[in-house]
Amino acid sequence: MTDRRLNLAITCFSTFGGSGMIATEIGLAMAERGHRVHFIARELPVHLHGTRHPVLFHEVTESTYPALQNSGTYPLALASKMIEVCQKERLDILHVHYAVPHATAAWMAREVLGPRAPRIVTTLHGTDTTLVGIEPSYLPITRFSLLRSDAVTTPSAFLRRATWEGFHLSPETVPIEVIFNFVDTVRHTPRRNRAGLRRLFPELGDGEPVLIHVSNFRPVKRIQDVCTIFAEVNRRLPCRLVMIGDGPEREGAERRLGELGLEERVAFLGNQEDFVELLAACDAFLLPSEKESFGLAALEALSCGVPVVASDIGGVPELVSHGETGYLAPVGDVSAMAARVLTLLRDAALWKACSHRAREQVLARFQRAPAIDRYEALYQRLVAAAHR
């Protein structure tokens, strides 16, 4: 689907996280399809490190003037860089990921550019709608930015509903298209190679199960619940835990597991760019979050044939089929989650069936190419409408 060669820019957070990964994958896929792709961000997005694809990067730099230090000038600097790139490159599309502050910066750039402005696509990813964006200090400008976007997308039907409700919008005032997040099913494929796990745990037994959690370790991820679930499972069935990611809750989790005498059974690996081999070798993925608009790391686990035990909240039920590809439980019900993990680990036939169904559902619903087709079609529709 290449009606015309597009010139588009993507803005996202540069650090580890699902929104940045999806944004980067969209950009790389568009470049593969022959479009001219730019990234406008504070730093080169993590997931672009080492890539050989022909994408262009434009760094956003903030003023070093003393009076402006620590004054939150990034949105202004970002808007200025957007204006600069748009004027030089004559962009067709500006696709921003996360409403705060990216959609607002895009709106400011549009006001300056006037008729020469590109079409603005805003993709919401979660807390920009369910937490930060609806704070009283941000709600009016976030709502206005959504109203001024040419198209808005979300990765789940849950987040679409939450956006309409949280910002007092309607399908008529702001139509929102649901485009599920996606995964590279070739890279994320079932493979039970435990060599990497044995390097982490030299005394790992042949049949000893390994649990895994991947996140940014923010309070909303309920990292202490991960620790409790693991401790309860380990008390009944000796196992190991791999923790990938970093954030404010990591120190408390390490301390808690040390107090329980479990530090030798847990590996904290920090942020990792490539952990597919470890993920695919694990036996269950834990996601006890308080809020979760989609759960990209859980999708990667499912693609690898790893069942997921998660909170029954947000967009997770659109991803995890209870009793089919994993299990869901109420937020905070760590006993129920531990029991579900034990059920999976003690029943080899059940685990195998869940693993198989997980992979099959990902192949049916969350592959990369169909999602990219929909983004490309959206871009083309907006550009065609603008030309008319």
What is the average per-residue pLDDT within 213-218? Answer: 95
Tens of pLDDT, residues 223-276: 999 999 999 999 999 999 999 999 999 999 999 999 999 999 999 999 998 899
The domain containing residue 70 runs over which residues?
A: 7-182+367-387
Tokens matching residue 112 = 């300056």
Is 371 found in the same domain as 360?
no
| Residue 1: per-residue pLDDT | 44
Is 163 found in the same domain as 29?
yes
Is 339 found in the same domain as 246?
yes
Q: What is the mean pLDDT of the chain?
A: 92
| Residue 46: per-residue pLDDT | 78
Identify whether 44 is part of a domain.
Answer: yes
Is 215 found in the same domain as 108?
no
Task: Show Cβ contacts of residue 285 under 8 Å, excluding neighbours closer than 6 positions.
Answer: 211, 212, 213, 214, 279, 297, 298, 301, 302, 306, 307, 308, 309, 310, 326
Residue 164 CB neighbour total at 10 angstroms: 16
| Residue 246: per-residue pLDDT | 94
Burial class (CB in 10 A: 0-12, 13-18, 19+), 238: exposed
Tokens matching residue 114 = 């006037």
Domain count, the chain: 2
Is 383 found in the same domain as 353?
no
Residues 76 and 94 sit within 8 Å (Cβ to Cβ): no
- pLDDT of residue 71 exceeding 60: no
Q: What distance in Å separates the CA atoms of residue 156 and residue 51, rounded to the nearest whole number?
A: 29
Tokens matching residue 123 = 């993709």
| Residue 73: per-residue pLDDT | 83
Tens of pLDDT, residues 81-97: 999 999 999 999 999 99
Identify whether 190 is part of a domain.
Answer: no
| Residue 70: per-residue pLDDT | 54
Is 30 found in the same domain as 134?
yes
- CA nearest to 329, candidates 350, 306, 308: 308
Tens of pLDDT, residues 118-169: 999 999 987 777 665 566 777 888 899 999 999 999 999 999 999 999 899 9
Identify whether 258 is part of a domain.
Answer: yes
Q: What distance in Å separates the CA atoms of residue 233 and residue 208, rounded to the nearest whole number?
A: 12
Is 160 found in the same domain as 137?
yes
Tens of pLDDT, residues 15-63: 767 788 899 999 999 999 999 999 999 988 877 877 677 899 999 987 6
Identify whether 188 is part of a domain.
Answer: no
- pLDDT of residue 2 exceeding 50: no
Identify whether 189 is part of a domain.
Answer: no
Residue 114 CB neighbour total at 10 angstroms: 7
| Residue 16: per-residue pLDDT | 67
| pTM of the predicted model as reported, rounded to 2 decimal places | 0.91
Is 82 found in the same domain as 11?
yes
| Residue 118: per-residue pLDDT | 96
Coil/strand/helix, residue 26: helix
Identify whether 2 is part of a domain.
Answer: no
Tokens matching residue 360 = 């099959």
What is the average per-residue pLDDT within 161-185? Answer: 94
Is 238 found in the same domain as 136?
no
Identify whether 245 is part of a domain.
Answer: yes
Backbone angles phi, psi at 325, to 5 degrees: -115, 0
The sign of the CA dihedral 80, 84, 90, 91 is negative
In the block, residue with structure tokens 């401790």: 231
Is 312 found in the same domain as 199?
yes
Query: Which ranges in the chain belong to alpha helices (H)?
Result: 18-32, 74-89, 104-113, 127-130, 139-147, 157-166, 195-200, 223-236, 250-259, 276-281, 296-303, 334-346, 348-365, 368-387
Q: At 236, which CATH number?
A: 3.40.50.2000
Is 111 found in the same domain as 72?
yes
Report, in angstroms and rounded to the nearest whole number, the Rg of the chain calculated over CA atoms: 22
Alpha carbon 262 to its chain's center: 29
Identify whether 1 is part of a domain.
Answer: no
- CA nearest to 99, candidates 120, 113, 68: 120
H or E stretch at 40: strand 36-41
Tens of pLDDT, residues 32-45: 999 999 999 998 88
| Residue 273: per-residue pLDDT | 82
Tens of pLDDT, residues 326-381: 999 999 999 999 999 999 999 999 999 999 999 999 999 999 999 999 999 999 99
| Residue 105: per-residue pLDDT | 95
Is 329 found in the same domain as 239?
yes
CA distances from 25 to 104, 213, 334, 351 (A): 23, 22, 34, 31
